[in-house]
Amino acid sequence: MEFIINYYFDFDIISDEFGFVVSGLWMTIKLWLVASLLSLIWGLVLAVLRQLPGKALAPIRGLTIAYIDGFRGLPALLVLLLVSGFLAAGQSDGVLPKWLGLPTWFGEPTWFWYGVIGLTLTYGAYLAEVYRAGIEAIPHGQMEAARSLGMSHGKAMRYIIVPQAVRKVIPPLLNDLIALMKDTSLVFAIGGSELLDAGFSIESDYFNGSGLMLGAIFYLVLTIPLARLVDVLLKREQRRTQRGGGDADAGEAEEPPNPNIGLAGA
């Protein structure tokens, strides 16, 4: 027991290297924020493309579905390795410009942007499915009503369907963003200097796991409040749904629903 405590909770090492670990934590937070923002945007774009109507747009829908299925089926680490390898090799061979192959945008290192691109490509696919569930949960009659008022499909999605869909799926979106937070550690494999790398460097220098334990504590400090927020939002949504269900049940007790209307709403 004493060995375990000394190995994981050596407070001298933690005190000496605390600033180094915090610098890795800051890089992790920046990576998570940028990748989360881009993933949310990219996922919404994919979800909307998947909902495009008409036979003429079937190829776009098909490519979107193939993209979503493909990236959901690939490990995030493999995507990071493929992205970093392709961009670096493309720049080296002159196929890609240096600003794209070795990006250092906004003063951030190249590994940071490799991580952002890889995580965005992967989590955009996951978030697209979350958005799709929200969009398909909106009664189809709302789209029909919007079109009958002269709105195009795009305007109806923008002003009526998507805003409601996003509100419905905030809890599952946050769940995926929590997973993204943990997967930022994967950039360690492509040379990322983030929280995991800081802890591993300390373990290599001291042959002691206190740095990794400190990193684990920081991950918990970041993710547990987000998980509790998801619980609060889910309970709020359940209460709202139950209230709505109670009203619906009361209405059914007074007058049986028209089965044709029920089929149209489904």
Q: What is the CATH number of the domain that holds 150?
A: 1.10.3720.10
Note whether residue 245 is domain-resident: no
Q: Are 207 and 3 in contact (CB under 8 A)?
A: no
Q: Identify whether 91 is part of a domain.
A: yes
Amino acid letter for position 177: L
Biggest CA pair distance of the chain: 75
As a whole number, the mean pLDDT across the chain is 89
Structural domain boundaries enclosing 220: 2-239
**What pLDDT is recorded for position 177?**
96
Q: How far is CA 82 from the centre of its chain?
A: 19
Q: Are 198 and 27 in contact (CB under 8 A)?
A: no
75 within domain boundaries: yes
Give the pLDDT of residue 147. Answer: 87
pLDDT at 244: 60
118 part of a folded domain = yes
All residues at 6 or more sequence positions from 147 whose CB lies less than 8 Å from its CB, including other chains: 153, 156
256 occurs within a structural domain: no
Question: What pLDDT score does 240 carry?
Answer: 77
Q: How far apart are CA 183 and CA 123, in angstroms?
A: 10
Alpha helix segments (H runs only) across the chain: 2-8, 11-50, 58-73, 76-92, 98-101, 110-137, 140-148, 153-156, 162-168, 170-183, 195-206, 210-254, 259-265
Angle at which helix 58-73 crosses helix 11-50, to 10 degrees, equals 160
pTM above 0.85, yes or no: yes
Residues in the chain where the model's pLDDT stays below 70: 243-266
Provide the number of structural domains found in the chain.
1
In a domain, 219, yes or no: yes
